[in-house]
Structure 1
Amino acid sequence: MAEDSEQQDDRLPADQRLDHLEQRVAEAQRKEALRTGKGPAPDANEQMGQKVLATLIGGLLGGTLIGWLLDKLLGTWPALFITLMVLGTASGFWSIIKMSNTKTKRDH
């Protein structure tokens, strides 16, 4: 502890030293939680944002992949590819609109 003179100031009263120690312990616990992946759980807004992003990307990629596969099978390149890519994107946006219009428990 004597080597840790920059972390602890012995000239401070005992109460202030305890407060300083509590702050250092809290900071160390926060850093450890981040390091081990046990940080705070994501809040509802972050979860909704991730859900919106996944819905949009899923619609776009799903429509594109299905369109590409059908075009390869049927030899209609690029008609189904473009059509299903647009429809997949539109369905992703439609799902996002429906999500934004639903009431949450908080809204009641």
Structure 2
Amino acid sequence: MSNDEPAREPVKEDARIDALEARLAAAQQREEERNRPQASGADANYRSGNRVLADLLGGLLGGAVIGYAIGFFTDTNPWGLLVGLFLGIVVAFRNVIRAANRRPGE
């Protein structure tokens, strides 16, 4: 062996390595497509359910707080609370009905 020759010959490209790299690239692409967030009908239904729940709770709690405050300041506390709760329930159901009649694309 002479000094200008390398001790080992460089490894040639192997067809198996090329095939493995192609399979890895394809698997990574499939994995990215699978993990990409997609807007599906289930997500829209989940958001719609949360909206209905928020409308109901907001109407009830808002009506109760406002009714109690009005009853406290006017010294008609049980009636102010009841009227506020009733109005909160009416507003909550009106919002739920409006959301139910809305088309999905709107």
TM superposition score category, shorter chain reference = 0.5 to 0.7
Give per-residue Cα distances to partners, 1:23-74, cap 9 Å, x unaligned: xx9xxxx8xxxxxxxx987800000000000000000000000000111111
- Looking at structure 1, the residues matched to 77 and 45 of structure 2 have their Cα atoms a distance apart, in angstroms, of 41
Report the equivalent of 1:86. Answer: 86
Identity over aligned pairs, percent: 35
Deviation of residue 84 (structure 1)?
A: 1.0
TM-score, length basis structure 1:
0.59
Please show how residues 18-97 of structure 1 align to structure 2 within 5 Å: 43-97=43-97
TM-score, length basis structure 2:
0.60
Residue type at the aligned position of 1:54? A
Gapped regions of structure 1 (runs ≥ 5): 1-17, 31-38
RMSD (Å), alpha carbons: 3.4
Report the equivalent of 1:3. Answer: none
Gapped regions of structure 2 (runs ≥ 5): 1-23
| 1:104–1:84 distance in 2 versus 1, CA, 3 Å | same
Report the equivalent of 2:104. Answer: 104
- Looking at structure 2, the residues matched to 80 and 71 of structure 1 have their Cα atoms a distance apart, in angstroms, of 4
| 1:68–1:105 distance in 2 versus 1, CA, 3 Å | same
